[in-house]
Amino acid sequence: MINQEILREYDIRGIFQKSLTLKDVEYISFKLATIIKETQSHQIIIGHDGRNSSLEIKNTLIENFLRFGIDVYDISLTPTPISYFANKYFKIPNLIMITGSHNPKEYNGLKIIIDEKPFFGDRIKTLNQISNCKESQSAGNLYFKSPIEPYSIEILDRFRDINKLKIVWDPGNGAIAPIIHRIVDAIGGYNIILNRSIDGTFPNHHPDPTIKKNIFQISEYIKNHSFDLGISFDGDGDRVGIIDENGELIYSDIILLLLVLDLYKEKKDITAIADVKCSKILFDTLKSKGINILMSKTGHSLIKEMITTKNADIAGEMSGHIFYKYQYYGYDDAIFASLKIINLLNKSSQKLGEITKPYMKSASTPEIKLHCHENDKSEILSNVIDEIRVTYANQAEIKDIDGVRVESKDFWFLIRASNTQNCLVFRLEHFDFANFKIEISQLIELLKNYKLDISELTDFNNTI
């Protein structure tokens, strides 16, 4: 039996050898082997990030898949976007990427594609209901392939010699570090790479580039050495954080807004997707341009599915995932997105801070985590939503796409359940700066009555 707690909405995630054990990994391989055996291709690609536990997990998966007659293609240590590329390039429809993504070093997990489709939602949550696969009379074969070279050729053919800027790159000791070396050699400009070695302990900072305290090092480097741009990545290279010439983190929804507007110059009938955590400025600006902008639930697998069903050209999340379907593959690739930003800036006479200034019309929180026990999360959220519906019934529009998003002409806020961590997620944006703190204080009063650790929210409130 797999520990049900690690079976999340859009991937499998837990603390290695606590909530996610090698026995869990073994059971997962049994269940997935059963599913794969029911498809036409009995092959799977397995890649992994640089975390200390990733090799043990990979070896356990390989051993069991081979026992069940599944051919395994080991692509070794690679960023998540390049594992997705391998899935397309090698035409092997099944994939497991072993990664803890942006989580702390003790975490790990599995991102899964089966039969060329993201494996998520009820398919993950009901894995325990699937019978274990029977061992095959003939073992599968193990092959070793590297997608790094073909990926580099494809990407750099699109972006060669695009750069006239001074850029600081921060792979954050994550799996993306080696490919960054190839990129900076090809794009031109003046480039510096921080934290360039792969180290699964993440000794320099936590591997989430969308949190301000994690970009302190690169921010200071930009300010002290007069650089034009900073680009930071998470542990497996599918989230990007963009820092302007002033050392300021530009929230990912504003980056998405710039990229959609840039694409609109090339393709007028585009459809874009942004998740429920994104700024109202993004939605209102794109609607005013006549762009078809859709709001989605949060989650890389959910967005990839929506890209397919809505035939969208570009999508993004507040968490730093950017997806290009137009003239690309439709998966989240932080390398591709960062090169698009560089290309955009090199076509402009303005610096990034100048380009984003017109969209800085509000005061907003970052993505704030309200920690709780995993088993209590669903009930707490349900009760919070009930109270919010009553409290804000006559003040705002209430949307229930993912958790609850409350929108008025002056502000909006979101409370939803995280699918990767044991917490609720909160974000507030206010267009009346004088009332920003008042609205946060009112919501703190509401939330403190629940079994939530709201210290991250109260700490933020104390700084404004």
Length of the chain: 464
Last residue of a domain, one of 209, 225, 249: 249
pLDDT of residue 133: 74
Q: How confident is the model at residue 10 (pLDDT cuts 50, 70, 90)?
A: confident
CA pseudo-torsion sign 399, 404, 405, 408: positive
Closest by Cα among 216, 218, 238 to 229: 218
Beta strands in 174-227, from DSSP E residues, in sequence order = 190-193
What digits encode the pLDDT tens for the residues 369-383?
A: 999 998 899 999 999
Report the Cα 269 to chain-centroid distance in Å: 26
Asked whether residue 136 falls in the same domain as residue 54, the answer is yes
Q: Which of 101, 279, 362, 418 is catalytic?
A: 101
Number of Cβ within 10 Å of residue 74's Cβ equals 18
Q: Which helix (H) or strand (E) holds 369?
A: strand 368-371
The residue with greater pLDDT, 275 or 133, is 275
Is 228 inside any structural domain? yes
- Does 83 participate in catalysis according to the annotation? no
Whether residues 64 and 40 fall in one domain: yes
CB 452 within 8 A of CB 380: yes
Looking at the structure, tell me whether residues 206 and 262 fall in a common domain: no
Task: Report yes or no on 287 lying in a domain.
Answer: yes
- Residue 138: predicted pLDDT: 87
Do 283 and 412 reside in the same domain of the chain?
Answer: no
The predicted-structure confidence for 395-433, as pLDDT tens digits, reads as follows: 899 999 999 999 999 999 999 999 878 899 999 999 998
Residue 342 lies in a domain: no
Which of the 8 DSSP states describes residue 249? E
Residues 158 and 244 in one domain: yes
Residue that terminates a domain, selected from 214, 230, 249: 249
Q: H-helix or E-strand containing 182? A: helix 177-187
CATH number of the domain bearing residue 63: 3.40.120.10
pLDDT tens-place string over residues 104-163: 999 999 999 999 999 999 999 999 999 877 777 789 999 999 999 999 999 988 998 888
Dist CA 325 CA 430 (whole Å): 32
Based on the fold, state whether residues 124 and 136 are members of the same structural domain: yes
Same domain for 113 and 13: yes
Domain final residue, candidates 327, 359, 391: 359
CATH number at residue 367: 3.30.310.50
Say how far apart CA 134 and CA 127 lie, in whole Å: 16
Give residue 75's pLDDT band: very low, low, confident or very high (50, 70, 90). very high
Q: Over the stretch 284-337, which tens digit does the pLDDT of each residue have?
A: 999 999 999 999 999 999 999 999 999 999 999 999 999 999 999 999 999 999
Q: Provide the pLDDT for residue 162.
A: 86
| Same domain membership, residue 119 and residue 35 | yes
Residue 42 lies in a domain: yes
Residue 343 is assigned to a structural domain of this protein: no
Look at residue 202 and tell me if it is in a domain. yes
Helix (H, G, I), strand (E, B) or coil at 257: helix
Q: Are residues 124 and 140 in the same domain?
A: yes
Instruction: Please report whether residue 307 resides in a domain.
Output: yes
Closest C-alpha among 238, 232, 195 to residue 211: 232
Query: What pLDDT, in 10s, does the model give residues 443-454?
Result: 999 999 999 999
- 21 and 140 fall within a common domain: yes
- Tell how strand 314-316 and strand 322-324 pair up: antiparallel
pLDDT at 131: 84
Q: What is the helix (H) or strand (E) element at residue 231, kind and residue range?
A: strand 229-233
- Under DSSP, the state recorded for 211 is S
Question: Is there a single domain that holds both residue 14 and residue 133?
Answer: yes
Tell me the residue range of the domain where 102 lies.
4-146
DSSP states of 424-457:
EEEEEEES-HHHHHHHHHHHHHHHTTSS-B-HHH
DSSP, residue by residue, 98-137: E--TTS-TTEEEEEEEETTEE--THHHHTGGGSPPPPPPS
- pLDDT for 71 beyond 80: yes
- Beta carbons within 10 angstroms of residue 366's beta carbon: 16
Residues 371 and 447 in one domain: yes
Q: How many structural domains compose the chain?
A: 4
In a domain, 110, yes or no: yes
- Judge whether 411 and 430 are in contact, CB under 8 Å: yes
